[in-house]
Structure 1
């Protein structure tokens, strides 16, 4: 039996809905996908879309955008001008429908595309939603021999429609507005957004000129691609591709389901293959599809099917070899699709993905047919593609095996059952205090072990000259026991720069076990080379440690100067001369012995005591210069190394160990 519950005021009059401007102003994320900068940017795109639709229908070919200092924006086109006057059919003014009514506009009529066959702004939300979310909006339209003006503030029209007879050079629409900080948390749209957006629109709207003026910097930009996506691919390709650019164009009619209306789709596809650069971009009704959807599925299906079929037909696979994946093709592919349809199903209002089943099917079938013909008619190019895709595939498989192997080798704590040879740990678990000394050889290990502070200083010896990591393949690097041991002791994984970076990367600086990583080698030619090889290893496998300022070099003294009462250490010729100038009595001077021959007290004083040691922090300031130096000293630049030795060799003659 139901209990009597006291009425708490929740009745039929408790349900309310947002009206007018509040539908957008209080819930911007519903329309724009976000109430932050991304949503604000999308509000700009909604206005831009309307101008693009006009230009694509053949009404004007110039669109001008201005980014003002006060964060306001304007868009001007040379289209027919938005109809704003009285609409007898609706018995309302068109300006109310366009700027004050969500889901209204000139793009709906029976999906027939009477006004715009292929429209970017098909949802009819744009002008109204952006107006509602603005601090103010001014609209000026030139059409029918008149100039029309509207002014809005925070979603409300002020002063109605002003209409005056006017002479003008061209019809068109000019809209200026300022996004409202009461609606969006951030309205400071970066210049890069405008640059990227207008460039992308120029790519997919061949021949339309997009002009951008940035008031903040006083800079002007212009974007135009006369041949659309083909010119864009030429630009991306940089003449480095190993195939010619292919361009296919077609149209089709169909429906997503039997009970759904028929619609038209137009598609353009352009691609080439390139070993240095890859790119996949999809556009639909001029909107960049960040997440792809239907075109992405079509491209992947068609390329994998046709290339796999060709590999089998030409006997390219090894016996029992696994089939290629799209990742193997994508590694060397530059491809852009540009499609339009009279009915579009976007995943949401932000238009970053489309879901039309018919578009996917039509594009897949068309692309399969074109690729089949292309592979038959272009034997030389298709052979290059097949060989490269197999190289990518086998490289990916090797990388995956290596990644699993690395993960296995580097995982686990350094306990008694998982010990690194001759690694001597310190006592503290406080990472902010822990230091690891990478020392040269077992003899240095002995003197450093006796000379250190065991509370916070740990030691790992490098046995001989380690592998040159700048020249070696990753597979060889991770078979090297010394390198794997060093990485395990560091504890932070590895950073791998390959096409398969996502599969390979295990790096996490939060897992680094040390506050300082200190390279400590003898002050002689061999010591310098070992130091350089260790630095090269860190630079290639864990470069973030250098960027984060975690890597140091311990300076070893070059000279030991002994007097009756005191011993001095000099770290350079200049310092030696300065010390000698201050000594009045007898003294002996000798070049410092190797670290392994130093007694523990000397090791502590000169190299390990934080109060008296000299550490050089390895700085990441000039990464390009670092790369050049490493390439010169350790890379494949043999001629450069020869020239460097000829030019600078005399500086190091006294250090050459010649017996």
Structure 2
């Protein structure tokens, strides 16, 4: 029998605050990532510092926040009250220290436990905090949470407030890059939720006069709106909604105390129920809830006393109480929507008529689809038991209690050899593979019926679990993994068309990516370099000198599973699929998938030339 390991006091180890954060960063900032996803840790670091500045604004201190991101250095300066000068070091380096335990000072803030800036400090190779207050300033500098410099109070003529500068630690965030698009989206959400606040990002001003109405205007173009946005405001609640002529699914942007709850929660569920209840009562008809909510584009923001979230990254509200002597979250939202939306519909009967027409049309479409939907569901149910197309993983995005759920990924591949390589080299805990057979159908201009009639689309919809909404989406990252040749590009386009046509919110919420795979392998007997561009190839040749062996990968199937593991592991490179705000979805689809116009021909020729140049470089 094997000797048992002794278990004594020596086995019990107490980690100090920074060691624990550095050892378990996922508990504090979700997944690490490389900056290609909006929920990657480097953006959570920015958000944690910004949250403190926003809370100052909410308390009536400081109307401007300046944010600068240059290369890997982030700097955030607010003009709030400034951290009390004797507590500057404690606030950013001692757990359970902060001004938010006093609920009177920060009545409805987000960061109640004061962990945020401590996590940023611990996960930064350089962290500097400077407080300006009472015509004095105090500065402290840290590395990986360890203090390296603390200055005594000095005289200062600068306006009161706090400035934080940090550089994410490259030993934790390897090969990261900030994408301004994600930072700008975060900043826009902050100004929509705090009308009157100005955030200056790298010299550009962001400001909102109309709150959530501006947010919806950003997310739906005028041509797609069924009617102008309904905008309702109360003491601790703000709501905006319209319906889209261009999309099938429901779209919600929900917030609690300024925090973007991407996973929804009790407030979003209550809002969905309240809309159905109000519209049923207004028309005196028991319409199906899915017909009422179909194609809704909406936003809700509530303020709750000491909110309870389901994780440190605060993406789902768990609170059932509003606090402050108010009724439950559900009752408060239901009463507000019932009174205000009902009043709006009575005052605007033309809007009510448009909503009723939309409901009746949705009802007709649902009835038309009911037979085929039933068959498709049965087919998908059978397939899910032994679905040849899906090789599933163990952890899913809707497993809210799983720490690594943000890493859940579905690779959509084409052909047996490519899917075989990915399947053999994937992480079975978090990476699933869906294998296409040849080119998918071009769904441009088709209605939802095709999603059920086409076996591949139906099984893909079932695998993702997105038939009715994104609420139970099973994978955080949906990655199109095709060859970088003309056929592979065409398959990408057909899949993006499918998502744009039927599930655009997947793209809007930043879930869809293209897998970037190396074009070349450059190696000698000692070293191997995988190169993603001709420039990287040339750098590798220069490093190896002599006459290295150069291989051009023409397809994913050529890359062995032993090599593929390097491209879908910690060094994975993903290109996010993003929507162009200037071009509505219908116009975008028409340009890429409609009739072959001269403009499109020029676009194709120009982009094909780039691909041919790469091939000729090999």
Shorter-chain TM range is 0.5 to 0.7
Question: Which shifted more, 622-631 or 9-18?
Answer: 622-631
Kindly indicate whether the alpha-carbon contact (under 8 Å) linking 2:191 and 2:198 is maintained by their aligned counterparts in 1: yes
- Alpha-carbon deviation of 1:406? 6.5
- In structure 2, the residue matched to 1:304 is 276
- Alpha-carbon deviation of 1:176? 0.7
- In structure 2, the residue matched to 1:591 is none
Question: In the TM superposition, what are the counterparts of 1:371-390 in structure 2 within 5 Å?
Answer: 371-390=341-360
Distance in 2, Cα, partners of 1:100 & 1:541: 48
Distance in 2, Cα, partners of 1:33 & 1:501: 22
- Alpha-carbon deviation of 1:172? 1.5
Q: 1:210 to 1:304 in 2, by over 3 A?
A: same
Question: In the TM superposition, what are the counterparts of 1:165-564 in structure 2 within 5 Å?
Answer: 165-168=155-158, 170-185=159-174, 187-213=176-202, 220-240=203-223, 241-251=225-235, 266-276=236-246, 279-311=251-283, 313=284, 323-325=287-289, 327-357=290-320, 358-404=328-374, 502-503=466-467
- Alpha-carbon deviation of 1:130? 0.9
- In structure 1, the residue matched to 2:111 is 121
- Alpha-carbon deviation of 1:276? 3.1
Distance in 1, Cα, partners of 2:480 & 2:174: 32
Distance in 1, Cα, partners of 2:11 & 2:465: 55
- Alpha-carbon deviation of 1:280? 1.5
- In structure 2, the residue matched to 1:629 is 595
**1:22 paired residue among 13, 19, 23:** 19
Distance in 2, Cα, partners of 1:246 & 1:471: 29
Question: Which shifted more, 383-392 or 288-297?
Answer: 383-392
Q: Which has the higher contact order (CA 8 A, sep 6+)?
A: 2
- Alpha-carbon deviation of 1:57? 1.9
Kindly indicate whether the alpha-carbon contact (under 8 Å) linking 2:128 and 2:139 is maintained by their aligned counterparts in 1: yes
Instruction: Please tell me whether residue 54 in structure 1 is matched to residue 56 in structure 2.
Output: yes
- In structure 2, the residue matched to 1:97 is 90
Distance in 1, Cα, partners of 2:444 & 2:146: 64
Distance in 2, Cα, partners of 1:543 & 1:126: 36
Q: 1:542 to 1:193 in 2, by over 3 A?
A: closer
- Alpha-carbon deviation of 1:22? 0.3
TM-score if structure 1 supplies the norm length?
0.56
Larger Rg: 1
Distance in 1, Cα, partners of 2:274 & 2:381: 40
Distance in 2, Cα, partners of 1:135 & 1:123: 23
- In structure 2, the residue matched to 1:32 is 29
TM-score if structure 2 supplies the norm length?
0.60
Q: Deviations over 1:516-572 (max 9, x none)?
A: 9xxxxxxxxxxxxxxxxxxxx99999999xxx9xxxxxxxxxxxxxxxxxxxxxxxx
Q: 1:406 to 1:274 in 2, by over 3 A?
A: closer
Q: Deviations over 1:431-452 (max 9, x none)?
A: 89xxxxxxxxxxxxxxxxxxxx
Give the SS at the match of 1:103: coil
Kindly indicate whether the alpha-carbon contact (under 8 Å) linking 2:444 and 2:593 is maintained by their aligned counterparts in 1: no
Distance in 2, Cα, partners of 1:114 & 1:281: 28
Unaligned runs of 5+ in 1: 86-93, 214-219, 252-265, 318-322, 414-429, 433-467, 511-515, 517-536, 549-621, 633-659
Q: 1:384 to 1:207 in 2, by over 3 A?
A: same
- Alpha-carbon deviation of 1:478? 11
Unaligned runs of 5+ in 2: 35-39, 321-327, 384-414, 418-441, 469-478, 482-486, 488-493, 502-513, 515-587, 599-618
Kindly indicate whether the alpha-carbon contact (under 8 Å) linking 1:492 and 1:509 is maintained by their aligned counterparts in 2: no
Distance in 2, Cα, partners of 1:60 & 1:478: 51
Distance in 2, Cα, partners of 1:538 & 1:131: 41
Instruction: Please tell me whether residue 107 in structure 1 is matched to residue 100 in structure 2.
Output: yes
Give the SS at the match of 1:17: coil
- How many residue pairs are counted as aligned between the two chains? 421
Q: 1:227 to 1:15 in 2, by over 3 A?
A: same
Q: 1:101 to 1:397 in 2, by over 3 A?
A: farther
Kindly indicate whether the alpha-carbon contact (under 8 Å) linking 2:53 and 2:65 is maintained by their aligned counterparts in 1: yes
Q: 1:387 to 1:184 in 2, by over 3 A?
A: same
Q: 1:274 to 1:174 in 2, by over 3 A?
A: same
Q: 1:370 to 1:27 in 2, by over 3 A?
A: same
- In structure 2, the residue matched to 1:589 is none
Q: 1:412 to 1:55 in 2, by over 3 A?
A: closer
Kindly indicate whether the alpha-carbon contact (under 8 Å) linking 1:294 and 1:359 is maintained by their aligned counterparts in 2: yes
Distance in 2, Cα, partners of 1:98 & 1:279: 38
- Alpha-carbon deviation of 1:630? 6.2
Kindly indicate whether the alpha-carbon contact (under 8 Å) linking 1:495 and 1:542 is maintained by their aligned counterparts in 2: no
**2:146 paired residue among 156, 176, 182:** 156
Give the SS at the match of 2:353: helix
Kindly indicate whether the alpha-carbon contact (under 8 Å) linking 2:239 and 2:299 is maintained by their aligned counterparts in 1: yes
Q: 1:363 to 1:138 in 2, by over 3 A?
A: same
Give the SS at the match of 2:150: coil
